[in-house]
Amino acid sequence: MTPSSRRNAPFNGKNAGRRPAVKEFLAAAAAPAAFVFGLVLLAWVMVALPGVIVYTVMWGERAVATVEGCEERAPLRDVEYLDCRGTWRFADGSEGSGHVSGVGRADVGREVQVRAGPFGPYAGGLDRSRHALYPGAFLWATMLPVAGVVSAFYLRARARARWVLAQIGERDGPSMTGRRRWRDARRRTLLRFRASARPPVLAGAGLVEPQEEEAVRRFATRRPFVTARVPGAGAAFFIVRRPGGLAVLDAGGRPTVIVRRVSHSPPRLLLLAPDRTPLGEIATYPGSEDQPGVAFHVVTESGETVADVVARFLRYTVVFTGEPPEHLRHAVLAFAFDALRLTR
């Protein structure tokens, strides 16, 4: 390989496919990384920083500090703070030096009583550290009502689910609970769903035509392609999320069922064969019409019950009747996975 070819190696065909994969990985990891960073920042402001300050002021080791000087610092634009430095001495004779919190220019040259903690010495009580406690107090005052509202919605959704499941009663078919991870009554994982911005490749071809891919990306969702995998056994089926519905494909990439929304209120969707032959429909569970989105009833074109889908606050319970055909089972699970988008 010549020097010029080495320089151009990252742009050849072998490496060209790595770039979309890396971009997809970064796009998929951006949201979880931002979420984790937000949780860490929230925990720091709400728990760690106030906890350290309270511990230092109340139970920190006593010392005597001498303030040597104070000056204004502006680490960021429009953000200023008074940086006071000095030395402090503990009862055992050991000494320290650095930033001293809770003092001002009036304390320069004086000895003040402080308590030392993980962030250094603090003078005075909690009132002198209120600038660090106010953000945490504000967040607590905001988060507690939000947590109360979320808990109320959760308890209400669980009560609704119990009522619907009691109405459904015992069925001779299997039941599953989940959304991205589906488990049976014994808590065994049966399926895992994974969404992607790029179509899975089957036998060298994508699940949709190139000219359709941009339309799916633009009008359905940013991650329109979903793979349902059986743990340890590979892909079971695929989902292509389309505007107003979705398409279900088998493990070989062949379309099996099309789910198409025909009304928003009340929610109603049709199950169609690839040639548009009606297979059945998904509608609001009888008796819950005043609570749209709580439960759904899936029937075939002849009126036979396939399954019931019950919302359980970001999760769903699917109760099948008997052993419906595989393509209808896949269609029901695909609908449950995407129900929030299809019924809103």
124: left (phi over 0), alpha (psi -120 to 50) or beta: left
Question: Could you give all domains of the chain from N- to C-terminal order, each with its CATH number?
Answer: 60-124 (2.40.50), 170-342 (2.40.160.200)
Taking the C-alpha atoms of residue 84 and residue 135, their distance in angstroms, rounded to an integer, is: 22
Displacement of CA 110 from its chain's centroid (Å): 53
Taking the C-alpha atoms of residue 249 and residue 274, their distance in angstroms, rounded to an integer, is: 10
Using the structure block, give the residue that is written with the tokens 């928003």.
264
DSSP code of 127? G
* pLDDT of amino acid 222: 66
The answer to whether 140 and 161 have CB atoms below 8 angstroms apart is no
Structure tokens at 335: 């609908």
Residues 6+ apart with CB under 8 A from 242: 216, 219, 220, 224
Report CA-CA distances (Å) from 57 to 115, 140, 174: 6, 21, 59
Report CA-CA distances (Å) from 228 to 28, 283, 333: 17, 24, 9
Task: Answer whether residue 287 shows pLDDT above 90.
Answer: no
User: Could you tell me the pLDDT band of residue 111, with boundaries at 50, 70 and 90?
Assistant: very high
- Higher-confidence residue of 172 and 275: namely 275
Query: Which contacts qualify for 101-107: CB closer than 8 Å, 24 or more apart?
Result: 101/128, 101/129, 102/128, 102/129, 103/65, 103/67, 103/70, 104/70, 105/70, 107/67
pLDDT tens by residue, 170-206: 777 788 999 899 998 888 999 999 888 776 654 333 4
Give the residue from 204, 217, 205 showing the smallest Cα distance to 27. 217
DSSP code of 334? H
Count of other CB atoms within 10 angstroms of residue 101: 22
The answer to whether 264 and 250 have CB atoms below 8 angstroms apart is no
pLDDT tens by residue, 59-88: 999 999 999 999 988 776 666 778 899 999
The answer to whether 46 and 140 have CB atoms below 8 angstroms apart is yes
DSSP code of 48? I
Least confident of 142-146, 218-222, 245-249: 218-222
Give the residue from 289, 298, 240 showing the smallest Cα distance to 269. 298
Taking the C-alpha atoms of residue 241 and residue 245, their distance in angstroms, rounded to an integer, is: 6
Task: Answer whether residue 26 shows pLDDT above 80.
Answer: no
Dmax (CA) for the chain in angstroms is: 92
Segment 138-150 mean pLDDT: 86
The answer to whether 91 and 62 have CB atoms below 8 angstroms apart is yes
- Higher-confidence residue of 82 and 325: namely 325
